[in-house]
Amino acid sequence: MLGRIWRFLVGPVLSTRRVRHERLPVWLALPVFASDALSSSAYATEEMMLVLWSAGEEALRLAFPISLAVVTLLFIVVFSYRQTVYAYPQGGGAFIVSRENLGEFWGILAASALLVGYVLTVAVSIAAGVNAIISAFPALLPYRVELCLLFIAFMTIVNLRGARESGLVFAPPTYGFVLTFAILILVGLARGFAGDIQPAPYPPYGEGTQALTWLVILTAFARGCSALTGVEAISDGVAAFRAPESRNAALTLLLMAIILAGLVLGITYTASYFHVLPLKNEHGEIVETLTSRLARTVLEGTPFEWFYYVVQAATMLILILAANTAYVDFPRLSSVLANAQYAPRQLANLGDRLVFNNGIILLGILSALLIIYFRGDTHSLIPLYAVGVFIGFTLSQAGMARRFARLKPPGWRIGMTISGFGAFTTGLVFMTQLIANFRYGAWITLLAIGVLMFLLFKVHEHYMEMKVQLQPRYTPPRPLRHKVLVLVPSVHQGVLQALDYARTLVPPERIEALHINVDPRPPAVYRRVLKRTKGEEPELHLVTPAVERLQHEWQTFVPDIPLKVIDSEHRSLVKPIEDYIDELLEREQLDQLTVIIPEFYPRKWWHHLLHNQSAWILRLALMKKRKVVVSTVRYFLER
C-alpha cells in the first residue's frame, strides 16, 4: 500500500542505463548554473538597506557605495573561480579543491559548510519565494509557514521523480527574471530622472534606533554579501559544459557576474533613489518585500500596472529554481561523502529514479525544520546563510593558491596572486560575517558545521576500522565443530519438516531438540472444559499435563533424537533458550551452532495476528549471540 503511494508520487522505476549527462552550450548553462546566484539579488539589497535604515535616513545614502563594494568582491571571487574551472575541467567544488590541496580536514570542513549551506539555500529561497507571493496577495500572510512547507514538499517529490537539470526548463524563468528586472530598473531610472515619480515617504518603523557606527556599516555589507551566494555553482559543474568546457565555463562565470552586478547595483540605486523600503505590519513582520515595493512605485500611474504581477511571478520562479539547485547538489555531495566513507552509505544509493532518494528526503526534512523554527522569515535566516558560504569561498581559493604554489604551471605567480588575494578577501569577509552576524544567528551555522564535521569524522573512523577488521585473510580450512539445535514448540508438521531439514545438514547424533515448558503449572480450573469432546458427556477428569503428551508424541514421530525439556520458571521463552545455548556451546566446545526455528507461514495477513510472534522475538535475541547461526524453516499453511 505504502509502496503504491510511493510509486504514484515518484513514477515508475528507471533503468541504470538511462544515466546520461547533458552537455550544455553557454546560453543554456547560464540559466542552469546562475539561477541560484542571480536569485539572491531578490533579497540582498533588502537586507542591506534594512540594516542601514535602523541607523537613520542619512545612513541609507551608504547603500549604493556598499553595493559597489559587494560587486567588487563579486568580481574578485569570480576571477579567482575562473582559474578553478581551468584547473578542474572535471568539476572542482570547494570540497574537492580543499581536500586535494589543503588536506582531509579542510576538505571535510568545506563539505560541512557546503551541506549546511544547501539546507539554508532551500530555506531562504523558498521563504523569499513565498514572500514574493505574499507581497502580491497579502491575504496569504497567515499561511506563510504552510506555503513554505507546501513548496518544500512539492520540490522534494519533484526531485524524487528525478528532475533533470534541463537547460530548456531553466532558461525561460531565469532569462525572464533578468529581463523583467532590467525593464523595471530602466523604466524606474527614466521616470525618476524625468521627475515623473516622487520619492515615497519613508516607512513609519525603526528609523534611527541606533547610531551609525562602523559595526552597522559592516553588518550592512555582510548582509549585502548574501548576493554572492550561489556563485560557486559553476566551478562544480564544469563537466556539464559543451567543449571546450573550461573556456565556456569561464565565459559563463563572467556573464553571470556582469548580470548579477547589474541587478544588485540597479536595484540598490533605484530603491535608494525612490526611498523604497520593505513594508512591515504592526508586529514588525515584513508583509511586502523591497522589490515588490520598488515595482509598485515604478509602475504606479502607468497603464502597465499589471506588469507588477509579472515581476512577482518572475521573482518567485527564480527563487524556486535556486532551491532546486540545492536539491541537486546536496544529495550529490552527500553521495560523494558516502562513497568516500564519510557519510552513512545509505546516502550513496541511487534510487528508483536514478536520484539519491535519501539525500533528497534528508534535505527536505532539514529545510522544513528550519522553516518551521524561523517561522519562514528570510530576515532571520539570512544572517545564518552567508557565513557558511564564505567558508567555502575562502577554502576553495586558498586551495587554488596552494595548488599554484605546488604544481607551478606556466604563469603560476599571477594565478597564485589572484587566488591568494581572493582567499584573503573572502577570509576577511568571513570574519566580518562572523562579527556582524554572530548574535543574529551565525553561531548556529558555525555550531551546525562543527557538529557535522564531528559526525563525518566519527563515521569515517567507524568505516575505516570496519574495513581493517573485514580485510579478507587466508586461513587454512579446518573442520568446524558444529551442531544443530531445533526448537520444538509442539509436535506438528512444521516441526517435523524442520527436523527433516536438520537431517540434511548433519547426522542425527549432532541434532538436539529443545522444548521450553512456559506453563509448568497451568490453572487447573478451566482445563476441564477444553477437554470436552463434542456430543460426549462432560466429566471431571484429570488432564494429562501438556508436556507428557508432547513427549509421548515426540517418541512416536522422532524416536532417534532425544527431546530436552526445560521448565521456564518465569514463563519467558527467550531466557532459558539463551541459557541452554550458552551451556551447550561451552559444554561441547562448539565452533558453530545452527539454531533452527520452525515457524508456520499463514496464508492471510490477519492470521499473523493470531500467532505468538515468538519466532521474531527469538531471532532478535539470538542475533546478538556469537557462534550462533539462526535459521528459520517455514511451513506454509495452505488454508
Residues from 548 through 577 that contact a copy of itself (CB under 8 A): 553, 556-557, 568-572
Instruction: Give residue 183's identity as a one-letter amino acid code.
Output: I
- Least distance to a copy of itself, CB of residue 637, Å: 6
Position among 519, 579, 582, 583 found at the interface with a copy of itself (CB under 8 A): 519
- Least distance to a copy of itself, CB of residue 632, Å: 6
- Least distance to a copy of itself, CB of residue 312, Å: 38
Q: Which is nearer to a copy of itself, 194 or 609 (CB)?
A: 609
Q: Which helix (H) or strand (E) holds 564?
A: strand 563-567
Does 630 sit near a copy of itself (CB under 8 A)? yes
C-alpha cell at 24: 550544455
C-alpha cell at 32: 542552469
- Least distance to a copy of itself, CB of residue 579, Å: 15
Residues 350-362 as b/e (b if ≥16 CB within 10 A, e otherwise) read ebbbbbbbbbbeb
Q: Is residue 273 a contact partner of residue 293, using CB atoms and an 8 Å limit?
A: no
Q: What dihedral do alpha carbons 441, 442, 444, 445 form, nearest 10°?
A: 140
Does 283 sit near a copy of itself (CB under 8 A)? no
CA separation for the pair 455, 465 (Å, rounded):
15
Does 17 sit near a copy of itself (CB under 8 A)? yes
Q: In the range 207-266, which residues lie near a copy of itself by CB under 8 A?
A: 239
What is the DSSP secondary structure assignment for residue 611, as one 8-state letter? Answer: S
Q: Which is nearer to a copy of itself, 375 or 608 (CB)?
A: 608
Three-class SS state of 573: coil
Position among 4, 90, 194, 201 found at the interface with a copy of itself (CB under 8 A): 90
Q: In the range 591-610, which residues lie near a copy of itself by CB under 8 A?
A: 592, 594, 600-602, 607, 609-610
Q: Which is nearer to a copy of itself, 134 or 486 (CB)?
A: 486
Q: Which is nearer to a copy of itself, 5 or 623 (CB)?
A: 623
Cis peptide before 244 (omega within 30 of 0): yes
Q: How far apart are the first and last CA of the chain?
A: 24
Q: Is residue 433 a contact partner of residue 442, using CB atoms and an 8 Å limit?
A: yes
Q: Is residue 515 a contact partner of residue 566, using CB atoms and an 8 Å limit?
A: yes
Instruction: Give residue 227's identity as a one-letter amino acid code.
Output: A
CA separation for the pair 39, 180 (Å, rounded):
13
C-alpha cell at 37: 546566484
- Least distance to a copy of itself, CB of residue 160, Å: 15
CA separation for the pair 367, 324 (Å, rounded):
12
Q: Is residue 222 a contact partner of residue 429, using CB atoms and an 8 Å limit?
A: yes
Does 525 sit near a copy of itself (CB under 8 A)? yes
| CA within 13 Å, CB half, 630 | 19
Q: In the range 481-500, which residues lie near a copy of itself by CB under 8 A?
A: 482, 491-496, 500
Q: x/- site string to a copy of itself, residues 396 to 435, per CB under 8 A?
A: ----------------------------------------
Position among 2, 139, 480, 542 found at the interface with a copy of itself (CB under 8 A): 480
Q: In the range 99-128, which residues lie near a copy of itself by CB under 8 A?
A: 99-100
Q: Which is nearer to a copy of itself, 265 or 622 (CB)?
A: 622
Q: Is residue 41 a contact partner of residue 263, using CB atoms and an 8 Å limit?
A: yes
C-alpha cell at 472: 579478507
Closest C-alpha among 131, 127, 151, 153 to residue 140: 131
Chain centroid offset of residue 634 CA: 40
Stretch that binds a copy of itself, among 111-119, 364-372, 443-451, 621-629 (CB under 8 A): 621-629
Q: Which is nearer to a copy of itself, 184 or 338 (CB)?
A: 338
Q: Which is nearer to a copy of itself, 352 or 377 (CB)?
A: 352
Does 4 sit near a copy of itself (CB under 8 A)? no
Q: Which is nearer to a copy of itself, 235 or 335 (CB)?
A: 335
Q: Which is nearer to a copy of itself, 139 or 480 (CB)?
A: 480
- Least distance to a copy of itself, CB of residue 567, Å: 8
Q: Which is nearer to a copy of itself, 417 or 493 (CB)?
A: 493
C-alpha cell at 87: 584547473
Q: x/- site string to a copy of itself, residues 347 to 386, per CB under 8 A?
A: --xxxx----------------------------------
Does 632 sit near a copy of itself (CB under 8 A)? yes
Chain centroid offset of residue 364 CA: 6
Does 466 sit near a copy of itself (CB under 8 A)? yes
Q: Number of residues in contact with a copy of itself, rule: CB under 8 A?
A: 97
- Least distance to a copy of itself, CB of residue 234, Å: 15
Q: Is residue 558 a contact partner of residue 513, using CB atoms and an 8 Å limit?
A: yes
Does 1 sit near a copy of itself (CB under 8 A)? no
Q: Is residue 412 a contact partner of residue 400, using CB atoms and an 8 Å limit?
A: no
Stretch that binds a copy of itself, among 37-45, 227-235, 367-375, 463-471 (CB under 8 A): 463-471
Closest C-alpha among 67, 49, 40 to residue 279: 49
Does 96 sit near a copy of itself (CB under 8 A)? yes
* Number of neighbouring beta carbons within 10 Å of residue 25: 12
Does 585 sit near a copy of itself (CB under 8 A)? no
